[in-house]
Amino acid sequence: MRTVFLDFDGVICTSGTYKRATKVMVPQAWGPAEAMWPKANELIAPDLVVNVSTLCLRAEASIIFSTTWRELYPHDRLCGFLHEAGLDTSIPILGRTPSIGHRGKEIAASVEAHGLTKNDICILEDEEDVSPFRGRQIKTSFVGSRPGFTARHLTRALRLFGLNP
């Protein structure tokens, strides 16, 4: 079963979306994420979510959250953020990686728990160390002229799964 490990910041949220959103959105209070950022969905770029959706639909892949956001928001809220931004609702979202403190180890635990192989996965991530899965990472960028999970990254991810773009 093909699976996409999805980070948010640097993949579907970029420096540009943060700049736009924080002009109108300021932390409401220090504490739980929902209290601080009640409109966190405004940090998500719909065009980048559509690219994730396209990848999952073409590859018949599910999603597992590997983002730090998984520690800030409940699973159903994360799913809601993605669906509101354009993720196809037919794409299975299996859950989240455990919090171990090292992204690669967290992904390894989920790979084992779901009975996946290295070739079953694609990791959308901007900076974390994903060893021993570096060859399965599509490295994106939080900043720059083309941040996030762009069409170019989508092409590379499809090829990683052995599909023609």
The domain spanning residue 131 has which CATH number? 3.40.50
Query: How many domains are there within the chain?
Result: 1
Q: Which two tokens stand for residue 50?
A: 């559509």
- What tens digit of pLDDT does each residue of 47-91 get? 999 999 999 999 999 999 999 999 888 999 999 999 999 999 999
Is the pTM higher than 0.85? yes
* Assigned domain for 165 exists: no
* Assigned domain for 133 exists: yes
Q: Is the Cβ–Cβ distance between 3 and 120 less than 8 Å?
A: yes
What domain range includes position 150?
3-160
* Assigned domain for 49 exists: yes
Show the beta-strand stretches assigned E in 97-153: 121-125, 137-139
- What tens digit of pLDDT does each residue of 1-52 get? 999 999 999 999 998 887 777 665 444 444 555 544 556 788 899 999 999 9
129 pLDDT higher than 60: yes
Q: Tell me the C-alpha to C-alpha distance, in Å, between residue 32 and each of 42, 47, 77, 80, 164.
A: 17, 28, 13, 18, 43
Strands 93-96 and 3-6: unpaired
